A = this chain, B = another copy of it.
Amino acid sequence: MPHRLLEQHRPLLDRALQTIADRSYWSAFAESPSPRAYGENAAETGRAAFEAHLGHAFELSQPGQCAWHKDENSPYGQALGISYPVSDPQALVDAAMQAMPAWQALGAEGRVGVCLEILQRLNRQSFEIAHAVMMTSGQGWMMAFQAGAPHAQDRGLEAVAYAWREMSFIPAESTWEKPQGKHPALVMRKHFEIVGRGVAVVIGCATFPTWNTYPGVFAALATGNPVILKPHSQVVLPAAITVRTIRAVLEENGLNPDLVSLCLPPSREAACDLYTHPDVHSIDYTGGNVFGKWLLDHCRQAQVYAELAGVNSIVVDSTDDYQGMLRNLAFTLSLYSGQMCTTSQALIIPAKGIATNDGHKTYEQVCQDLAQAVDHFLSKPETAHAVLGAIQSDETLARIEKAASGAMGQVILAPRSLTNPDFPQARVRTPVLLACDATDAGFFTQEQFGPISFLVRAADTQAALALVEDLTRQHGALTMAIYSTNDKVIDAATQVSWRAKVALSINLTGGVFVNQSAAYSDFHGTGGNPAGNASYADSAFVANRFRVVQRRQHV
């Protein structure tokens, strides 16, 4: 049955394999929430499915349940009232280990077939999951749909494709025949078994509960590992829906559903015991540096794939499309109120200003023009709410207030509080822009998660590039951008991107934004600077999640 699933979904896998190799554009899952793509009633059915969760206990029939978790808050101010099963992590680990041998025995074909079926099923739940993502993370609707559903599914499929490619290199059997001159050859029959490392724990973040976890979940699963998904304590529903669907597909295929479970640990201590459990062999984590460092320092029994904080930079040297640049930047800085690990925090501008198609612009002028561009872009409330979403955490709200107070730099654009007519309790803030000098270290050199960006005045472009290199090597970054009409400057920026190991976007003035990366084509992060030790997705992201155990005997 699972093998038939591979056959059934094989075209999808093959296309994903082709696309990770040629890195062209492709998406397996329609990013438009249109009836044509998802069916006439999909939007309504999905909303109803989401609403049916509200105020209810989310049953998962997992082992070791000992309490209910009710700690979920919506940044939109909506009462969710959902309770989730709290399970003893040891019971989840034990159950996962019990489910593992049958999952191994299925082989790469069977496992990948099941993973593809799960992704298809999750795709059919895109509206339900999008509502869940929106109401828990605070993303705007369109982003919640795209990033939360089809794009997350694409990243999951991408991880499956990498896992398949690596596993498919391992033949199940081989005959080894070594000539011995005049004597009979030595002949051995060898078998090669792909064996998962052990329990994989995937720790979700509050802002991208599916997009940032699906790569780890599917990479681990496909390579033979059970998965325990630990969502952010306040952003649970998208993970709970995902786990329920996975468990259902497993069960339908005669597999033990405890292979995948949702973990809301009864205490912080129990959570730490899970992360350091000897049967846990990988941890995927997206989030802050303090806990990330704790994981890296303490979970020495596991391979930790960590995406941590960083300081993403843009160097503005010159442009032949000043308005296009401003529009592009205004969108980037506004999207989901900058609550993305890829949002640019430091925009570095030469002190003497920049050359543009609209003439020379002083540093001060660029600051003012960008502030105006953001203001203008958000002037229509519909646009503003659709793009900004809501502020996910109290900490981000506090940071915005601190930035607005002038404590982090000169306020060029003050944040505004907007009232969302659909969700009057939603905490909505427009971006803060701060001006500071490259020598004013302290604030722009640390991640200020949220809609807080610095317009940093550097001596010149060379100094700006040196600053980006230093920032990225010291503090990490997932993205870097350069605006320049000068090929030599672009070359210099390219060299910086190589040394600092950060993806570079050049002269984005249209509909592609530095903070967005496309599955199958863009590597999300390089894994080569302090912002993360892994990339979504590449061979390194999957190759160490399984081991090959061989056996050999004479024929």
A interface vs B, CB < 8 Å? 20-25, 104, 165-166, 169, 171, 174-180, 186, 188, 190, 192-193, 195, 197, 296, 300, 494, 497-498, 501-512, 518, 521-523, 526-528, 535, 538-540, 543-544, 547-554
Q: Binding site of A, secondary structure by majority: helix, strand, loop or mixed?
A: mixed
- What residues on B are CB-neighbors of A512 within 8 Å? 186, 188, 552, 554
The answer on a CB contact under 8 Å between A547 and B501 is: yes
The answer on a CB contact under 8 Å between A177 and B543 is: no
- Going nearest first, the 5 A-B pairs with the smallest beta carbon separation are A506-B553, A528-B547, A539-B543, A504-B551, A23-B174
Looking at A186, A509, A550, the one whose CB has the most chain B CB atoms below 10 A away is A550
The answer on a CB contact under 8 Å between A169 and B21 is: yes
Minimum CB distance partner of A198 in chain B: B528
Minimum CB distance partner of A503 in chain B: B550
The answer on a CB contact under 8 Å between A553 and B498 is: no
The answer on a CB contact under 8 Å between B171 and A549 is: no
Tally of this chain's copies = 2
Minimum CB distance partner of A493 in chain B: B551
List 5 other contacts, CB 8 Å, given A21-B169, A22-B171. Answer: A25-B177, A169-B539, A501-B549, A503-B552, A504-B551
- What residues on B are CB-neighbors of A527 within 8 Å? 544, 547
Our pick among B178, B197, B540, B552 for the contact of A506 (Cβ within 8 Å) is: B552
The answer on a CB contact under 8 Å between B549 and A498 is: yes
Can you offer 9 A-B residue contacts whose CB atoms are under 8 A? A22-B171, A23-B174, A192-B523, A503-B551, A503-B552, A508-B553, A522-B552, A523-B548, A523-B550
Tell me the smallest distance from the CB of A314 to a CB of chain B, in Å.
Answer: 14
- What residues on B are CB-neighbors of A535 within 8 Å? 547-548
Minimum CB distance partner of A553 in chain B: B506
- A186–B510 Cα distance when bound, in Å, is 8
- What residues on B are CB-neighbors of A20 within 8 Å? 169
The answer on a CB contact under 8 Å between B171 and A554 is: no
Tell me the smallest distance from the CB of A30 to a CB of chain B, in Å.
Answer: 12
The answer on a CB contact under 8 Å between B538 and A526 is: no
Tell me the smallest distance from the CB of A525 to a CB of chain B, in Å.
Answer: 9
- A20–B506 Cα distance when bound, in Å, is 39
Our pick among B176, B504, B507 for the contact of A550 (Cβ within 8 Å) is: B504
Minimum CB distance partner of A518 in chain B: B176
- A509–B188 Cα distance when bound, in Å, is 12
- A166–B553 Cα distance when bound, in Å, is 30
The answer on a CB contact under 8 Å between A180 and B511 is: yes
Tell me the smallest distance from the CB of A483 to a CB of chain B, in Å.
Answer: 11
- What residues on B are CB-neighbors of A494 within 8 Å? 551
Looking at A174, A195, A507, A547, the one whose CB has the most chain B CB atoms below 10 A away is A547
The answer on a CB contact under 8 Å between B178 and A497 is: no
- What residues on B are CB-neighbors of A165 within 8 Å? 169
The answer on a CB contact under 8 Å between B502 and A549 is: yes
Given A174-B521, A506-B553, A508-B554, verify A190-B23 contact (CB < 8 Å): yes
The answer on a CB contact under 8 Å between A528 and B195 is: yes
- What residues on B are CB-neighbors of A549 within 8 Å? 497-498, 501-504, 526, 528
Tell me the smallest distance from the CB of A402 to a CB of chain B, in Å.
Answer: 32
Given A24-B174, A551-B503, verify A540-B543 contact (CB < 8 Å): yes
Tell me the smallest distance from the CB of A412 to a CB of chain B, in Å.
Answer: 28
- What residues on B are CB-neighbors of A501 within 8 Å? 195, 547, 549
The answer on a CB contact under 8 Å between B176 and A509 is: no
Given A501-B547, A528-B547, A544-B540, verify A178-B518 contact (CB < 8 Å): yes
Our pick among B171, B176, B498, B522 for the contact of A104 (Cβ within 8 Å) is: B498
Tell me the smallest distance from the CB of A461 to a CB of chain B, in Å.
Answer: 17
Given A528-B195, A553-B506, verify A176-B547 contact (CB < 8 Å): no
Tell me the smallest distance from the CB of A195 to a CB of chain B, in Å.
Answer: 5
- What residues on B are CB-neighbors of A502 within 8 Å? 549
- A25–B543 Cα distance when bound, in Å, is 24
